[in-house]
């Protein structure tokens, strides 16, 4: 009897703990499910709306092939320390003459500098489709548009950061840097490497030196050789029309400010209404950005109109949900963004000749001189653009050319010093009679 009572008590205690454990597990399960329901989901790339990087570039190549009278395309490659990159450049110019680029206003547009901003590359494709007249802007008179385009040469970089874009397509939807982990919009030389209090070393890695990255080197060469009158760096994350500067809370003075502000205010009135902020990047965003492309274009290259446009942003998205934060996720918004901003750019194409006046307007004389390295890089790039030759030998010998040039300068200075020294000594030497006394 005693054994039976003991067995009964043991059985009862076991059931109590099992029941308690089951209830705890059930409660944990319910809590986990409710926790997951409250956590923001991560929106994947919608490839029904968006092109993959490969498909987008293939579609652009096909577009260029169908319209050789208007469009040409080249792919520029560079690399260092085991890392390589390529940047494709599409040029719109109706008259294909060697000196035609210098007689027209020159516009340089860059898209996809940050890998996660897919909508910007879609806008590049839309603009090229309109330039080729495969698509049209319903609200714009085609005849007047064609008249404006006759005065322009437009270079479009559809996807500056191809390697970073591939990282995003592989699943890292928040990646903005290039394939080596460097933020290309912090890798330029104006105020490079400075770190603010809110500096994020992961996102804003400026690289080991200015222009350490092949993508930045290619864009620098392109800008110096092309000498654009208008530069626009296209991003997403908000809606804004920014002018220099990004690294400080000031704007340029005098006529340059008047020109840029007048253009942006007219664009905002026509297309952006109250959605877009206008001002300097550093004064409007709430943080300073150092080593940006737009500040370099204005300060060093001397582009009279240099802008950064932000074309879309979802402020309600979680910081983890990067695709939704930087890109439209539904068809209606996707189409609206592309329609509105393509119309914006073609309005700019019509306004730029008016704002700059003479079609032969030269770029501003920058306060800072372009270095011999930058000049040589730009010179060789210009030769390749103009004649279509692949100057691998000159590209590979770039460092040797720089070295020989510096040695030549150094030897010239030394020879001049020796010559002056000899003359000085000869003047001080006493005159001695040749006849012995």
Phi, psi of 109 (to 5 degrees): -120, 135
The terminus-to-terminus CA distance of the chain in angstroms comes to: 151
User: Which tens digit of pLDDT belongs to each residue from 40-65?
Assistant: 579 999 999 999 999 999 999 999 99
> Which one is catalytic: 215, 310, 374, 395?
310
Q: Residue 283 has what pLDDT? A: 84
Burial 412-421 (b: 16+ CB within 10 A, else e): eeeeeeeeee
303 part of a folded domain:
yes
Q: Quick one: which of 69, 66, 140 has its CA closest to 350?
A: 140
Q: Residue 385 has what pLDDT? A: 39
8 A C-beta contact, residue 153 and residue 201? no
Q: Read off the pLDDT band of 99 (50, 70, 90).
A: low
User: Which tens digit of pLDDT belongs to each residue from 31-40?
Assistant: 444 434 344 5
DSSP 1: -
Sheet holding 230-235, edge to edge: 71-80, 83-92, 152-157, 105-111, 230-235, 305-312, 238-243, 277-280
What is the Rg, in whole angstroms, of the alpha carbon atoms belonging to the chain?
A: 30
Q: Quick one: which of 268, 103, 287 has its CA closest to 204?
A: 287
User: Which tens digit of pLDDT belongs to each residue from 405-417?
Assistant: 667 787 788 888 7
10 part of a folded domain:
no
Structural domain including 200 reads 64-356
| 395 vs 69, more confident | 69
8 A C-beta contact, residue 246 and residue 294? yes
User: Which tens digit of pLDDT belongs to each residue from 361-394?
Assistant: 555 545 444 555 554 454 444 334 333 333 333 4
User: Which tens digit of pLDDT belongs to each residue from 180-206?
Assistant: 999 999 999 999 998 887 767 778 899
52 part of a folded domain:
no
pTM of the full structure: 0.77
User: Which tens digit of pLDDT belongs to each residue from 11-26?
Assistant: 454 444 444 444 443 3
> Could you tell me which residues come within 8 angstroms of residue 365 by beta carbon, excluding any fewer than 6 positions away?
302
Mean pLDDT of 410-433: 69
415 part of a folded domain:
no
- The percentage of residues in the chain with a pLDDT greater than 70, rounded to a whole number, is 75
Q: How far apart are CA 284 and CA 286, in angstroms?
A: 6
Sign (positive/negative) of CA torsion 107, 98, 66, 165? negative
Cα 405 versus chain centre, distance = 31
How many helices (H) does the chain have, and how many strands (E)?
Answer: 15, 8
Q: Name the least confident of 15-24, 234-243, 339-348, 417-426.
A: 15-24
CB half-sphere exposure, 374, CA atoms < 13 A = 20
Burial 141-180 (b: 16+ CB within 10 A, else e): eeeebeebbeebbbbbbbbbbbbbbbbbbeeebbbbbbbb
8 A C-beta contact, residue 323 and residue 45? yes
Q: How are beta strands 305-312 and 277-280 bridged, if at all? A: unpaired
304 part of a folded domain:
yes
Bridge partners of residue 77, in order along the sequence: 86
Q: How are beta strands 105-111 and 277-280 bridged, if at all? A: unpaired
Burial class for 429, CB neighbours closer than 10 Å (0-12, 13-18, 19+): exposed
Q: Residue 212 has what pLDDT? A: 97
271 part of a folded domain:
yes
428 part of a folded domain:
no
* CATH of residue 213: 3.40.630.10
Q: Residue 379 has what pLDDT? A: 41
147 part of a folded domain:
yes
Mean pLDDT of 238-250: 94
The domain total for the chain is 1
Q: 204 catalytic, yes or no? A: no
């Amino acid at each position: 009897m005693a054994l039976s009572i003991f067995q009964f008590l043991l059985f009862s205690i076991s059931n109590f703990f099992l029941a308690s454990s089951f209830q705890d597990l059930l409660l944990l399960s319910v809590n986990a499910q409710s926790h997951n329901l409250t956590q923001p989901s991560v929106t994947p790339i919608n490839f029904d709306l968006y092109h993959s990087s490969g498909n987008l570039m293939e579609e652009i190549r096909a577009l260029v092939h169908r319209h050789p009278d208007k469009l040409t395309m080249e792919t520029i490659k560079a690399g260092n320390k085991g890392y390589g990159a390529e940047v494709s450049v599409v040029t719109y110019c109706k008259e294909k003459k060697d000196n035609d680029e210098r007689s027209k206003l020159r516009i340089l547009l860059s898209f996809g500098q940050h890998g996660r901003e897919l909508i910007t590359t879609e806008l590049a494709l839309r603009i090229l489709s309109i330039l080729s007249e495969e698509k049209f802007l319903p609200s714009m008179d085609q005849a007047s548009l064609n008249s404006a385009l006759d005065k322009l040469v437009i270079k479009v970089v559809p996807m500056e950061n191809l390697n970073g874009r591939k990282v995003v397509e592989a699943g890292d939807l928040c990646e903005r840097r290039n394939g080596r982990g460097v933020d290309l919009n912090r890798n330029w030389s104006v105020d490079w490497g400075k770190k603010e209090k809110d500096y994020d070393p992961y996102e804003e890695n400026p690289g080991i030196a200015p222009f350490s990255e092949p993508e930045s080197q290619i864009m620098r060469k392109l800008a110096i050789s092309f000498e654009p009158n208008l530069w626009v760096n296209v991003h997403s994350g908000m809606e804004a029309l920014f002018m220099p500067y990004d690294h400080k809370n000031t704007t340029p003075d005098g006529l340059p400010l008047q020109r840029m502000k007048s253009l942006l205010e007219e664009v905002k009135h026509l297309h952006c209404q109250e959605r877009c902020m206008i001002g300097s990047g550093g004064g409007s965003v709430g943080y300073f950005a150092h080593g940006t492309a737009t500040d370099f274009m204005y300060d060093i290259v001397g582009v009279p109109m240099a802008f950064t446009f932000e074309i879309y942003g979802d402020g309600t998205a979680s910081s983890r949900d990067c695709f939704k934060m930087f890109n439209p996720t539904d068809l209606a918004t996707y189409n609206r963004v592309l329609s509105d901003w393509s119309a914006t750019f073609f309005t700019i194409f019509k306004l730029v000749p008016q704002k700059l006046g003479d079609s032969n307007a030269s770029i501003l004389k920058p306060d800072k001189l372009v270095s011999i390295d930058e000049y040589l890089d730009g010179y060789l790039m210009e030769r390749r653009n103009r004649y279509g030759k692949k100057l691998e030998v000159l590209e590979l010998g770039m460092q040797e050319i720089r070295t020989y040039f510096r040695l030549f300068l150094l030897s010239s200075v030394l020879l001049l010093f020796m010559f002056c020294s000899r003359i000085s000594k000869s003047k001080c030497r006493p005159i001695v009679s040749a006849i012995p006394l």
